[in-house]
Structure 1
Amino acid sequence: MAFASGSRADRPNIVLVVADDQGWGDVGYQGHPVLKTPHLDEAARSGLRFERFYAQAPVCSPTRATLLTGRHPNRMGVFTWGYPIRPQEITLAKLLREAGYATGHFGKWHLGSVYRASPVHPGRMGFERWVSSPNFFDNNPIFSDEGTAVPFQGESSVVTVQVALEWIRKQAEAGRPFFAMICFGSPHAPHQAAEEDRALYLDQPPALREFYGEITGIDRAFGMLRQALAELGIRENTILWYTSDNGALPKVGSTGGFRGNKGQIYEGGLLVPTFLEWPAKIRTPRVTRVRCCSADIFPTILEIVGIEPPANLPLDGISLVPVIEGKWERRPVPLGFWHYPAPGISTPSAKWMAELLAAQQKGEDLPPDGPSQRAGQLPDPPYPSDQFPGHAAWIEGDWKLHRIETAKGKIRWELYNLEEDPAESTDRAAEEPERLGAMQKRLEAWLRSVVQSLNGADYAGLGESPSLPESKSR
C-alpha cells in the first residue's frame, strides 16, 4: 500500500477531529445503553476502529501538545491543563504547511493565548487560518478569528464545524490539499446541550440530559462534516481521524469498565474513542486491538505524506502505517506516560473572549496572559534528572507498570497484565520480580530522556523556529 506520492493532487487531505473529555465508553458503538451517536457509530463501522487508543495524558492541554508534535507533553513543559506549548516546537501544521498544505485550526486551542500578540497562538504554530478558543466553550461562543473576537450563534460543536467547512470548501475548490484540526469544546463541563439534543434524553436525570445532549451535538456536527466531504467530492482521499484528549469524566462519563477517570493514568483516564476513515486506502472496515496513542498521529501523517520527521527532536510516537495496512497485531515498542503534579493554569475562555470583544469594540486590544508571553523560556534552574514526581506508567506488550512518586520522594510500584486484567485490579509486582526490574530500568531511562527535553536539550542546534508568513487562506 503506497502512500507518499510526488504528485500534489494525490496527497490526501487530513482532518483531525478532537473531542474534549469524551471517554472510551461515551459513544453508542461501544455499547452505551443510552447515548445516541449514529454518525460516530457509522464512521467507526466504516473505517479503522482503534479499540486500545490512549490519550497521551489524562487531561486536555498535554494531549493537544502531543497531537501537534508527536512528543510527550512534559518534554515541552505542558504538564497539565492551561500550560502553553513552547514556540520552539516543530508542529505537524508547520511541516505540512511547508510541504504545500493549507492548514487551519478551528475550536479549542488550550495551548496558549489566542490574542493577536500571543507568541503561541495557532498562527504562530503553523496554522495559516485559525478561528479558535483559548479553552473549552459552550453554545453561542466568542472565537478569536486570527486575533479578532467574533461572536457566533449556535450549538458549540455545530458552529465549529460550520466555520471549518467554510474554509474547507475554499481549499477543495482551489484543489489544494489541506490539514484541518477541528477541536470541539464538548463534552467538557459545565454541560449545556442544545434543546434538540437534550430532548432525546428527557427520561434521564438533569445532569445526564445535558452531558448526553452535548455528545449528541458532537455527533450531529460530525455528521455534517462527513456529509460535506462527500458532497465536495473529496471524501475518498481524505483522512478523517477522530479522537479525544483524555478519558472519561467521573460520575457522568463512561470508561467502559476500565479503572480510573480523567486526571488518572489508569486505563479509564487514558483510553479514548478513536477511529480513522480513509476510503481510498481503507476499503474494508476493521477493528484493531494494537495499543496506539496520541503521539502516533504525528509520525503516521508524516509518513503518509512523505515528510521526514524533524531531526534532533525525540518522538514518543511511531508511524501506524503498518496498522492501517493490517500488518501489526501488537505494538513493537513501549508506551510511556507521566502525569506531573503541577497545578493547572486557569484559562476562562468565555471571560477572556468577552473582555477581548469589549476592548476591540472600543478600538483597543489586549496583551496575552503571562504564561503565554513566557512560553519559550527554559527552566532555570533545570529540573533534576533523578527525580520524577507524580504518576508515570510504561506499557510493554500487555504489561503495564505504574511508578507513583510522592512529594516526599517515596516511590510505589504496581504491575498489571492488561490482557488478563484490563481493570488493573490485581497487582503482579511481587510475583514478577524479573519483569518488574527490567521494566523499571526502561521506564526510568525514558523519564530521564523526557527531563533532558524539558530542560531544553532538544533545541540546541535547531536555530530559529521556521518563519511562516501570516497570509490568510480564507
Structure 2
Amino acid sequence: MKILIKSLLLAEILMLSVASGAEPPLAADSKAIDRAESNRKPNIILVMADDQGWGDVGYNGHPFVQTPELDAMANDGFVFDRFYAAAPVCSPTRASVMTGRNPIRTKVTNHGRYMRPHEQTIAETLKAAGYVTGIFGKVHLGSGQPDSPCNPTGMGFDEWVIGLNFFDNDPYLSRNGKIEHRKGKGSVIAMDDTLAFLGKHKDRDQPMFAVVWFPSPHDPHQEVPEGPSLYDGEKHAGYYREITLLDQQLGRLRRELKTMNIADDTILWYCSDNGGLVEATSGGRDRKGSIYEGGLRIPAIIEWPASNLKGRTDVPAWTCDIYPTLLAMAGIHLDAPHPLDGTDISNIISGEADKHSKPMGFWHLFQQGQATWSDRIQKAIMEKQQAGAPLPHDPERIRKDVDEFPQFSEDVATGHAAWNDWPWKLHRINGTKYELYNLANDPMETTDRAADPDQQTRLERMKRELSGWMVSVVGSINGKDYHQ
C-alpha cells in the first residue's frame, strides 16, 4: 500500500462557487487556508445511525420526531438532500464507508458477513498518514476477538469498543478483544467511549479519526431518551424515541468538541446505514431492505467549522464517496490498490459540480444474510475469558470469509440490482425483469418507462452498463482485485 501525503491548499480542494448572483454553499476563510498551507490535517469523525430514514429528522419535515441537534447541525453545516446508502441493510453499507467500494466486492454481500482483511480501509490510510484511529459502537463487519484478522485492529483501528451487531441496554462489548459487560444505554455508552478517545488524544500531535456507529434506532427499541416520555400513542414510538436519543448523543459530541477546543478543526459527517423502518417517511418507494429509493435514501450532513461548510444540495451522492472525499478534504492522496465505486465529491460540496461523476450501482440479495447475536456471542466469550478457558468459537469463525474464495459465475443474476445514472434509474430483478424510472419526474418510482418506445436506446445502454458493472463486482468477490 502506497500512501503519498501532500499539502494542498484548501482553496484547491474546496473551491468557491462562481455562480453569478448566488451565495456559494461553501466558503473558506483565511484561518482555514492558513491551516491547509501548514499541512495540519483535520480531525475526522464519522457518525452513523442504524436504520434511520431520510425523513425521520426534523430538518426534513417529520411531523413530530424531535431532533433539535440534527436540525442545528443541518443549519450550521452542509446537507445532502439525496444521499444514498450503498446497500439497504447495515453491514454492506458499513463496508462501503470503510473501503469506498460496493460491498459485494469486499465479500460483505449481506448482513453478518465479514469484510476481507485484504481490503484497504479508510482507517488504514489515515493511520499511515499519521492519524490515531478509534471505532466505537456497532461494527457488524467481523469479529471482536483479539486474534481475528477481521477485527477492527485488522481494519486499521488502534482502539475499539464494539458490538458485533445491534445492541440496546446493558450490552456486552469488546474492548480491543476483551469483553466487558457495560451498564447503561447502548448509544450513550458508544458516545462515552468516543468522547474518552477524543479526550485522551486531543492534546497530542496526531490528528484523530473516530468512528461512532450507534446501535439505535434498530429494533427492539429498548433505549429511551433523557427527559419526559415522548411519542406515547404514536405508531413506531420506540423507533422515534431512539432517534431522539441518538440526537441527544450527537448534541453531546458537538458540545464536547467545542469544550475540547477542537470543533473548528474537526470534520464531522453524519448519516444512516440504510433506509428507515417507516415507508411514509423514507423519502421514496419502500423502506429498509429494498433498493427502491426508500430503502437507500438516508439523512446526511457534513460539518467543518474552519471551512465554513454551509448549504444544501440535491445532487445525488452515496456512502462510497465518503472515503475519497474525506481524504481530498484532508489533503491526503489516496493510492487505492483496488477499484473504487465512490469518488471525491468535494466539487459538489463546493458548488462546482451539479452532477455526480459516476453512476451508482446497487445490488442486494446476491447472498442471504447471516444472524449475529451480539450479546449472546460476546457474553459466551467473556465467560470463557474470565475462566481462562478456550474461547467458544473455533478458528473457522474467527477467520470467516478470509480464506474462502468461492468462484461465482460472471453471469450470476441473483437478487435485485439497480443502476442510478441520474436522473434515470434502471432496476434488474433476478436477471429477468427490468424497470426504468426517471427519478427527477417520478421520485416514488411509480411509472415504469422500460416499455416506452422513446426510451429503448437509453434502456439498452443502461442495461449494458449495469451488466458490465455487475461482472466487475463478481470479479472482485472472486478475488481478482487482490492478484493484479
* TM-score normalized by the length of structure 2: 0.90
Partner residue, 1:16? 46
Contact 1:112 1:121 in 2 (8 A): yes
Partner residue, 1:271? 297
Flag the 1:6–1:114 CA change in 2: closer, same or farther, 3 A: farther
Contact 2:224 2:241 in 1 (8 A): yes
Contact 1:46 1:277 in 2 (8 A): yes
Return the letter of the residue paired with 2:276: A
Return the letter of the residue paired with 1:225: L
Contact 1:113 1:121 in 2 (8 A): yes
Could you tell me how far apart the structure 1 residues matched to 2:151 and 2:412 are?
Answer: 32
Partner residue, 2:469? 446
Could you tell me how far apart the structure 2 residues matched to 1:192 and 1:244 are?
Answer: 19
| Aligned counterpart for 2:132 among listed residues 90, 98, 102 | 102
Partner residue, 2:259? 231
Return the letter of the residue paired with 1:41: D
Shift of 1:340: 2.9
Contact 2:225 2:244 in 1 (8 A): no
Partner residue, 1:216? 244
| Aligned counterpart for 1:413 among listed residues 431, 434, 456 | 434
Cα deviation digits, residues 273-304 of structure 1 (max 9, x gap)? 10100111134x20100100000001111222
Contact 1:299 1:318 in 2 (8 A): yes
Contact 2:380 2:392 in 1 (8 A): no
Aligned to 1:392, what secondary structure does the other structure show? Answer: strand
| Aligned counterpart for 1:262 among listed residues 282, 288, 291 | 288
Contact 1:197 1:216 in 2 (8 A): no
Cα deviation digits, residues 80-136 of structure 1 (max 9, x gap)? 000000010000000100110000000111011111122210011100011111111
Partner residue, 1:335? 360
Aligned to 1:173, what secondary structure does the other structure show? Answer: coil
Of 208-217 and 64-73, deviating more is: 208-217
Could you tell me how far apart the structure 1 residues matched to 2:108 and 2:37 are?
Answer: 36
Shift of 1:36: 0.4
Could you tell me how far apart the structure 1 residues matched to 2:90 and 2:233 are?
Answer: 31
Aligned to 1:401, what secondary structure does the other structure show? Answer: strand
* TM-score normalized by the length of structure 1: 0.91
Shift of 1:308: 3.0
Could you tell me how far apart the structure 2 residues matched to 1:372 and 1:239 are?
Answer: 34
Contact 2:345 2:356 in 1 (8 A): no
Cα deviation digits, residues 360-404 of structure 1 (max 9, x gap)? 221235255635413222423x11112221111001120000011
Partner residue, 1:351? 376
Q: Would you say 1:375 and 2:401 are equivalent positions?
A: yes
Q: Would you say 1:204 and 2:234 are equivalent positions?
A: yes
Of 307-316 and 70-79, deviating more is: 307-316
Partner residue, 1:182? 212
Q: Would you say 1:59 and 2:84 are equivalent positions?
A: no
Return the letter of the residue paired with 1:301: L
Q: Aligned pairs, how many?
A: 450
Flag the 1:368–1:146 CA change in 2: closer, same or farther, 3 A: farther
Of 416-425 and 273-282, deviating more is: 273-282
Partner residue, 1:297? 322
Flag the 1:330–1:125 CA change in 2: closer, same or farther, 3 A: same
Of 188-197 and 29-38, deviating more is: 188-197
Could you tell me how far apart the structure 2 residues matched to 1:175 and 1:449 are?
Answer: 41
Of 23-32 and 99-108, deviating more is: 23-32
Aligned to 1:87, what secondary structure does the other structure show? Answer: coil
Could you tell me how far apart the structure 2 residues matched to 1:139 and 1:39 are?
Answer: 22
Partner residue, 1:77? 107
Contact 2:269 2:302 in 1 (8 A): yes
Shift of 1:5: 4.4
Contact 2:348 2:355 in 1 (8 A): no
Aligned to 2:298, what secondary structure does the other structure show? Answer: coil
Shift of 1:171: 1.4
Contact 2:41 2:331 in 1 (8 A): no
Contact 1:117 1:368 in 2 (8 A): no
Aligned identity (percent) is 45
Return the letter of the residue paired with 1:413: Y
Partner residue, 1:437? 460
Aligned to 1:104, what secondary structure does the other structure show? Answer: strand
Partner residue, 1:32? 62
Could you tell me how far apart the structure 1 residues matched to 2:351 and 2:216 are?
Answer: 32
Could you tell me how far apart the structure 1 residues matched to 2:382 and 2:477 are?
Answer: 35
Return the letter of the residue paired with 1:96: L
Could you tell me how far apart the structure 1 residues matched to 2:461 and 2:368 are?
Answer: 32
| Aligned counterpart for 1:422 among listed residues 428, 443, 446 | 443
Flag the 1:115–1:6 CA change in 2: closer, same or farther, 3 A: farther
Aligned to 1:153, what secondary structure does the other structure show? Answer: coil
RMSD: 1.7
Flag the 1:30–1:76 CA change in 2: closer, same or farther, 3 A: same
Contact 2:145 2:398 in 1 (8 A): no
Q: Would you say 1:241 and 2:272 are equivalent positions?
A: no
* Structure 1 unmatched ranges of 5 or more: 462-474
Flag the 1:236–1:37 CA change in 2: closer, same or farther, 3 A: same
Return the letter of the residue paired with 1:326: G
Could you tell me how far apart the structure 2 residues matched to 1:282 and 1:376 are?
Answer: 43
Aligned to 1:191, what secondary structure does the other structure show? Answer: coil
Contact 1:198 1:209 in 2 (8 A): no
Could you tell me how far apart the structure 1 residues matched to 2:135 and 2:481 are?
Answer: 26
Could you tell me how far apart the structure 2 residues matched to 1:2 and 1:103 are?
Answer: 26
Of 299-308 and 157-166, deviating more is: 299-308
Flag the 1:113–1:270 CA change in 2: closer, same or farther, 3 A: same
Contact 1:110 1:134 in 2 (8 A): yes
Contact 1:118 1:368 in 2 (8 A): no
Contact 1:118 1:367 in 2 (8 A): no
Shift of 1:198: 6.8
Partner residue, 1:387? 412
Flag the 1:195–1:435 CA change in 2: closer, same or farther, 3 A: closer
Contact 1:198 1:210 in 2 (8 A): no
Could you tell me how far apart the structure 2 residues matched to 1:360 and 1:312 are?
Answer: 38
Partner residue, 1:281? 307
Shift of 1:270: 0.2
Flag the 1:163–1:76 CA change in 2: closer, same or farther, 3 A: same
Shift of 1:158: 1.4
Shift of 1:254: 2.7
Partner residue, 1:133? 163
Could you tell me how far apart the structure 2 residues matched to 1:276 and 1:66 are?
Answer: 17
Cα deviation digits, residues 156-180 of structure 1 (max 9, x gap)? 2111111111110121121420110
Could you tell me how far apart the structure 2 residues matched to 1:363 and 1:144 are?
Answer: 16
Partner residue, 1:171? 201
Aligned to 1:199, what secondary structure does the other structure show? Answer: coil
